Amino acid sequence: MRKIHVILFLLLMISRLSAQQDSIAYFLNDSGLSSYKKVVKTDLAQILKGNLMCMVEKDISGNMRMEYGIGLLTAALVEPMFNRLYRQGTDVFGEDFTNVKMKPGFSLYVSPRYTDIKFPWIYVSSNLLAEYYIGQLFVTDVSFTLGYEYNLSKKIVLDVSTGFGVDMLASTDGYYYVHKHRLFNGKSLTVQNTLSFYIPLSVKIGYRIP
Residue 8 and residue 52 in one domain: no
The answer on 156 and 108 residing in a single domain is yes
Whether residue 23 has pLDDT greater than 50? no
Are 20 and 65 in a shared domain?
A: no
Count: domains in the chain: 2
Q: Residues 21, 65: one domain?
A: no
Same structural domain, 93 and 41? yes
Shared domain for 12 and 39, answered yes or no, is no
What is the pLDDT averaged over residues 95-120?
Answer: 85
Q: Is the pLDDT of residue 30 over 60?
A: no
pLDDT in tens, 45-71: 999 999 999 999 998 887 899 999 999
CATH number of the domain enclosing 172 = 2.40.160
Structural domain for 195, as ranges: 31-209
pLDDT at 85: 80
Residues 77 and 5 in one domain: no
Give the separation between CA 71 and CA 55, rounded to whole angstroms.
8
Task: Please tell me the distance from the alpha carbon of residue 183 to that of residue 132, in angstroms, as a whole number.
Answer: 23
Using one digit for the tens of pLDDT, what is the confidence trace for 127-165?
A: 999 999 999 999 999 999 999 999 998 899 999 999 999
Query: Do 90 and 109 fall into the same domain?
Result: yes
Query: Residues 20, 123: one domain?
Result: no
pTM: 0.77
The answer to whether residues 107 and 168 belong to one domain is yes
Are residue 24 and residue 38 in the same domain, yes or no? no
Q: Are residues 139 and 72 in the same domain?
A: yes
What's the pLDDT score for residue 14? Answer: 52
